[in-house]
Amino acid sequence: MRRGRVVDLATAHPSRAPSVRVELPPARGGGAVTSMRANLDEPVTTVNGDIRLASVDTMSNMAGLVDLGLTRYEARAYLALIGRRDGTPAEIARMASIPRQRAYDVLASLSERGLVLPVPGHGVRYRAQPPDHVTELLIAVRRRELDRLARGATDMAADLSALYQRGQDLGKPLDYVEVLRDREHAVERVQKLWAEASREVLTLVHPPYLGASSPQDTVVPPGIVQRAIYELATLDDPRMAAQISGYAALGEQIRLTTVLPLKLTIVDGRSVAFNMPDPSEADGSVTTLVVQHEALAATLKIAFESLWAGARPLADVLAARSY
């Protein structure tokens, strides 16, 4: 197969720069042949005598220009124009594969942005600005856009911060609920609730007993009403019977009933602690829940008052047992 002749367009057409090396087809008919542009190290294609960009690198450059803010047509037109000294919209439309009716608007847009310059003289012709100048212009536009966005973001963050803080002050969902599995930790937490009481402490005392303090270590602060309900069977244990009598001597109001559903503490009508035995464990394991919730405390206090009304005072129970 005969190879076509090679023509340097910079020599054949001195008005066109920079230098482009194109291998022309050996026969008429307009077959496409690929060669290299010396200055950009990119291949170009000749189709029916027109020089068109067609390479992976060109696609990469076009994508880069689009990232900097050009449309695809604008990027194609600029890349086509930098291979010539200047060109008409019709020439650029052929080289960049842009619809001819769009080429005029595309080149006018590039001219308004200072990326190409109109060539004085007869007819409409444009010359590309140097690539470093073009990228600087595009980056400057992006910087101004980013500065505007940054200022807007700062103002927006200031406006949203107040809303965010109000949301944080409301608390996270269920952050008023504590789930305690460790026995010692549960005892310490309930004792802390007692220590924080300022008006009233109501308790249902039900086994298992996690480690209550002895009467000798307990002080009932003045002004705090303490009422407790125990199961009658508790008095069958001499040690527990002595503790109950000791708490009564300190001022705690005590009543007894046959059966209690669970262990419960209500402090000042706002804090609740109760034990939930694990139904799958046979070793008496419990989970203690501490809830800071006035509505729950009020509801459980209704249950406490109902049990209190049906329970017997400690003095009456002890008197009956003494006979």
pLDDT digits (tens, 9 = 90+) for 181-206: 888 888 898 889 988 999 999 999 98
pLDDT tens, residue by residue, 244-269: 999 899 889 999 999 998 899 999 99
**pLDDT above 70: residue 304:** yes
**pLDDT above 60: residue 129:** yes
* 48/121 Cα distance (integer angstroms): 28
* 145/143 Cα distance (integer angstroms): 5
Which whole-number Å values give the CA distances from 290 to 53, 61, 91, 109, 217, in the listed order?
A: 74, 64, 81, 69, 23
Domains of the chain from N-terminus onward: 6-137 (1.10.10.10), 177-322 (3.30.870.10)
Better-scored residue on pLDDT, 298 or 48: 298
Q: How many CB atoms lie within 10 A of CB 226?
A: 19
**Beta strand 21-23 with 50-53: parallel, antiparallel or unpaired?**
unpaired
CA 231 to chain centre: 52
pLDDT at site 292: 92
Which whole-number Å values give the CA distances from 167 to 66, 164, 170, 171, 173, in the listed order?
A: 41, 5, 5, 7, 11
Q: What is the mean pLDDT of residues 124-129?
A: 91
Model pTM?
0.47
pLDDT at site 278: 77
Which residues, at least 6 apart from 212, have a Cβ–Cβ distance to it below 8 Å?
A: 187, 243
**pLDDT above 90: residue 214:** no
**pLDDT above 70: residue 300:** yes
pLDDT at site 176: 83
